[in-house]
Homo-oligomer: A and B are copies of this chain.
Amino acid sequence: MQISGNLLIGQKAVRGTNGSIRAVNAATGAPIEPAFGGATAADLEAACALAWAAFDAYRETPLEARAQFLETIAQNILDLGDDLIERCVTESGLPRARIEGERGRTVGQLRMFAGVVRDGDFLGVRIDPAQPERKPLPRVDLRLRHVGLGPVAVFGASNFPLAFSVAGGDTASALAAGCPVVVKAHSAHPGTSELVGLAVQKAVKDCGMPEGTFSLLFDSGREIGQGLVKDHRIKAAGFTGSRGGGTALMQLAAARREPIPVYAEMSSINPVLLFPAALKNRADAIGRAFAASLVLGAGQFCTNPGLILAVDGPDLDRFIEAASAALAETPATTMLTPGIHKAYETAVGRAADHAAVKTLARGAAAKASNQGQAALFSTTADAFRQHAELHEEIFGASSLVVRCPDLATMREIVEALEGQLTSALHIDEADHADARAFLPALERRTGRLLVNGFGTGVEVGHAMVHGGPYPSTADGRSTSVGSLAINRFLRPVSYQDMPEALLPAALQSENPLGLNRRLDGKLQLAK
């Protein structure tokens, strides 16, 4: 498949005429051919109209057909071969091994959701059979299933050009839920986006899905993204990016005539709590592991460990020494875009200049443009409590150590933190009692609590929560990674006294789909 710079509207390739976007080689800053045409309002209208027209048919596709569609997308992405990998490496500046791994994750996600669709548990079938003899009133027959919310707008993320972009987690979970998807590509990787878009578009055709099941739009500004969230046919949105971008979409969605859910994954500093015994026994090892997590992918992960909390003392100093030594040997790394690099440098410079902040270590100096140099800072507990700006995420390989006088202060600091995607506890057995006292405060503000590890490396599974209370996400009631994400795009519908002939297959008494069901409130396995 060849990159043309076109929009993909249903089965058509359409030249966008609303400005243009140029891909850039992240490592060199050189522009790459061809230019991508920005979508017009008419293109947006066409994509939304097609998505809406597709919805009723797509959401009732048999589970097996929908599962095969997801698997076909996965295979078509693999079939793009090295062209995809090379383009993605060039556009993102991320290493080849990472991009190959990310492709594996993307394909794995699509296949996992194929399994979720086949399994059918996401339909959440509940049947309360009629009780015609009940007194004083007979009981009606009630059957419940979940249906897709409607067409979903998906915003590609800069930092996961495959796994959270055109055919990433949001798209996979929305398609699995029975929702057509209109993607607004991220301008950081338009060529990657088009290639993956072509793979999805081909899968729609290969599998005979309704044309409007998928469209891909480029946008040279913000109009199309905003227009998508405002369009009355769009019933939910998935976004990964900055807090500013996410909250703007939340506000647009809340101001609609019909407000819709926005699932925005925004910002998190992912506190890492080092407990005394662990620090005493393993300060060096934890310091090195922390440095490795911090610089992974140039620190451009939502789960990057941006905050270290520990009781001050020689053990913490050893941790800092080990981490600093490791960071000093870390080469500067190409960042995703010149804009992200510039924002990182500005934020790191501001931290370094902050009166209450001390620079502990920097990574090796940059050897080329657009390379991020890791940074480790420290501050005091008092200063951290006083300065709200120190709680803000720095997107990139920067972290802040807060030297706490004692565990009680450390707990107060936890209580002052905003919502987080992850919180990590480094503990040995002697720390258990101390750690236990922190758990309620951490649970209240975190989607994923992890022990003796770091948040980077988000396992795509069934028990994963990649989400968390605001402002880490717009809606802490859900996850953007893992099979539970399908719930974000579903709503329950109840059918009362409906004749078998009119009931959806999922709700028919004979259970033709072989689903696990809740009968009179009691879960029953089909087999």
Contact = CB atoms under 8 A, between A and B. Distances in A.
Interface residues of A, number: 81
A399 interface: no
Contact of A479 (B440, B469, B475, B492): B492
A493 B448 contact: yes
A512 interface: no
A443 B525 contact: no
A259 B128 contact: no
A447 interface: yes
B258 A471 contact: yes
Given A127-B463, A502-B439, A457 B137 contact: yes
A261 B475 CA distance: 8
Interface stretch (A72-80, A371-379, A516-524): A516-524
B140 A453 contact: yes
Contacts of A520: 461-462
A483 interface: yes
Contact of A144 (B116, B119, B446, B463): B463
Contacts of A457: 137, 140
Interface in A430-464: 432, 435-436, 439-440, 443-444, 446-453, 457, 459, 461-464
B463 A142 contact: yes
A399 to B, nearest CB: 20
Interface in A488-522: 490-499, 501-502, 516, 518, 520-522
Nearest to A496: B450
A448 B492 CA distance: 9
A400 to B, nearest CB: 22
A121 interface: yes
Contacts of A250: 254, 259
A467 interface: yes
A66 interface: no
A345 to B, nearest CB: 29
A327 interface: no
Nearest to A424: B496
B451 A497 contact: yes
A98 interface: no
A515 to B, nearest CB: 11
Interface in A255-270: 258-259, 261
A338 interface: no
A421 to B, nearest CB: 10
Contact of A56 (B55, B259, B440): B440
Nearest to A497: B451
Top-8 shortest CB links A-B:
A450-B496, A465-B494, A142-B463, A126-B463, A254-B254, A462-B521, A56-B440, A144-B463
Interface of A: 55-56, 60, 115-116, 119, 121, 126-128, 137, 139-140, 142-144, 147, 149-150, 250-251, 254, 258-259, 261, 419, 427, 429, 432, 435-436, 439-440, 443-444, 446-453, 457, 459, 461-465, 467, 469-471, 474-479, 483-484, 490-499, 501-502, 516, 518, 520-523, 525
Given A435-B502, A449-B494, A467-B492, 16 more contacts: A55-B444, A56-B440, A60-B440, A128-B459, A128-B461, A128-B462, A139-B461, A144-B465, A149-B476, A250-B254, A251-B254, A447-B492, A448-B495, A450-B498, A451-B495, A523-B523
30 contacts: A56-B444, A119-B521, A126-B462, A126-B463, A128-B464, A144-B463, A144-B484, A149-B477, A258-B419, A259-B470, A429-B499, A447-B493, A447-B494, A449-B493, A449-B495, A449-B498, A450-B495, A451-B496, A451-B497, A451-B502, A452-B497, A461-B521, A462-B518, A463-B494, A463-B518, A465-B494, A477-B490, A477-B491, A479-B494, A484-B492
